[in-house]
Amino acid sequence: MGGGGISIYAHCLIIILFGIGFSSVSLVVMAAAAAAASSAPIDTSTAILIWVDPSGNGDFKKIQDAIDAVPSNNSEFVVIKIKPGTYREKIVVPANKPYVTLSGTKASETIIAWSDGGDIFDSPTLTVFASDFVGQFLTIQNSFGTTGRAVALRVSGDRAAFYGCRILSYQDSLLDDTGNHYYRNCYIEGATDFICGNAASLYESCHLHSLSTLNGAITAQHRGSPSENTGFTFSACNITGVGHAFLGRPWGAYSRVIFAQTYMSSVIVPQGWDDWQDPKRQSTVYYGEYKCYGPGADTSKRVQWSQSLSEDEAAPFLTKHMIGGTTWLRPAPTHFKRFTGSVTSLMKADEND
């Protein structure tokens, strides 16, 4: 299982801008840094602390109630600590509530579960629209079953990071929708297109577990044109499963997915990739592998339209530093303000001090 005692915010989070030159990247990074600096909280060491405890000994019994207590257009870091338990809630973090962290203590003991299927945008157990969001040490599960689309986690906000989380469903488990995202030490499980969407995301040291019994796809990346700087990179990950699976298939005609230095069990079929019954996409997708290993990593029978990358070809997809990821990850807060019943009133009190 993904887990690991890794500090939130301890790593540089990457905004993956694929396939553009260094000078262009520099300009984009400077602009992004300036925008982030103008809107981000000044004091990165301090956060408002809210406790969720189903027994009633915290500030709230439900996670959604704690999120609702965060004021619109929030400008302070808010850490919502969630006591162990199973929370049967369908949760939304609105776009006007940035800088929120949801933190369990251990993913196997802090579980957010719901059962809903059908539309991928309406079914998620947890939907994140807000920017600068962090999820840590949580299980996020959609228990709808095997009969259709059922998203556990939808991430549609920019600058979102997940550490030590378990994301569980069957079809479309993780809708990695839009924005720049980072996942580390996460366990992601499903059978069909269970990591899908059009975000620019880096997955490091994650465990991907396929429940497919026959040729399901792990990824369905949705990049629709060569001008979109989106795609999924999986670095130092671990792929296991129960049957047979493809590494990915193109939801979008210009789908882009990279697997690097990743262990692949025999669950991966020899051809590796599927064109989703659309041969025209073979000439537009970008599917690459770099220094992967394990019985499923043999590229001798891969489809001819995938690529075995050289070190130079893989390098732009693997580095965080060239895009200035440190501008939107901050150190873990070291000081906390006690929640007194209203984040809004607490903020106003601070302004009057």
Catalytic residue ranges: 172, 193
- Closest-CA residue to 118 (of 171, 77, 175): 171
Tokens for 65?
């109630």
Enumerate the β-bridge partners of residue 80: 50, 102
- Closest-CA residue to 82 (of 117, 51, 59): 51
Distance in angstroms (rounded) separating the CA atoms of residues 269 and 115: 31
Phi-psi region of 236 (alpha: psi -120 to 50; beta: other; left: phi over 0): left
- Closest-CA residue to 236 (of 189, 184, 285, 196): 184
- Closest-CA residue to 148 (of 209, 87, 190): 190
Report which DSSP code applies to 280. G
Distance in angstroms (rounded) separating the CA atoms of residues 93 and 7: 22
